[in-house]
A and B are shown apart, each in its own frame.
Chain A
Amino acid sequence: SQQGEEDPQALSIQEGENATMNCSYKTSINNLQWYRQNSGRGLVHLILIRSNEREKHSGRLRVTLDTSKKSSSLLITASRAADTASYFCATEGGSYIPTFGRGTSLIVHP
């Protein structure tokens, strides 16, 4: 079964706007990871946040984690057309096997 579920399923914005994607999960985790997938390609690891962390930054990416609500968000600031892709969250629990959600499809219009 899939642990993480992203919301929204699809997001369409203009270049320069911020994009926010959310991920909810059901059981306790050791960490939560965000990945990006361009159409027809493999996934690229973006950022990992551990269960004892609340916020992490990497360039234009900001990830938050709220373990009490079992949710995470990925914020992409000042989006670019090149950010167009699908974004997946993956949760890693006691088995150290990541389980992925269905992803958010982001389209950034130039």
Chain B
Amino acid sequence: SQTIHQWPATLVQPVGSPLSLECTVEGTSNPNLYWYRQAAGRGLQLLFYSVGIGQISSEVPQNLSASRPQDRQFILSSKKLLLSDSGFYLCAWSKGSDLGYTFGSGTRLTVV
């Protein structure tokens, strides 16, 4: 069966520090991968998506970047965190349209 792993679950980082959040998928190949951010009491904002290794599409210009070094690995990064980067980050995967999306358990990032 397919599973998605996302870590860490919580993270407290100082302003100006780097960030690396990792997401891996098991049990499937060539998934579409997504990074979302959810602010408190708000909906999900799509940050990046990838349809293949090395292919990254950015939805919102910001202080973050994403990479897909392997087929089932998706990484969210920042060189210097801002206070506004705080939020709940969710990774998700899908095999295509009409098939729904499977989400990881999320990372709560607090920038102090």
Contacts and interface: CB of A to CB of B under 8 A. Distances in A.
Q: Top 7 A-B pairs ranked by shortest CB distance? A: A42-B103, A100-B44, A102-B43, A45-B100, A96-B97, A43-B103, A100-B43
A43 B102 CA distance: 8
Interface size class of A (residues with CB under 8 A): 20 to 34
Q: Which of A31, A33, A100, A101 has the most CB of B within 10 A?
A: A100
Contacts of A40: 88, 106, 108
A98 B106 contact: no
Interface of A: 2, 30-31, 33, 35, 40-45, 48, 50, 88, 90, 92, 96-103
B35 interface: no
B61 interface: no
B44 A41 contact: no
A100 B43 CA distance: 6
**Chain A's interface: helix, strand, loop or mixed, by majority?**
strand
Interface in B82-102: 88, 90, 92, 96-102
Contacts of A102: 41-43
A33 B103 contact: no
A41 B106 contact: yes
Interface string B16-43: 0000000000000000001010000111
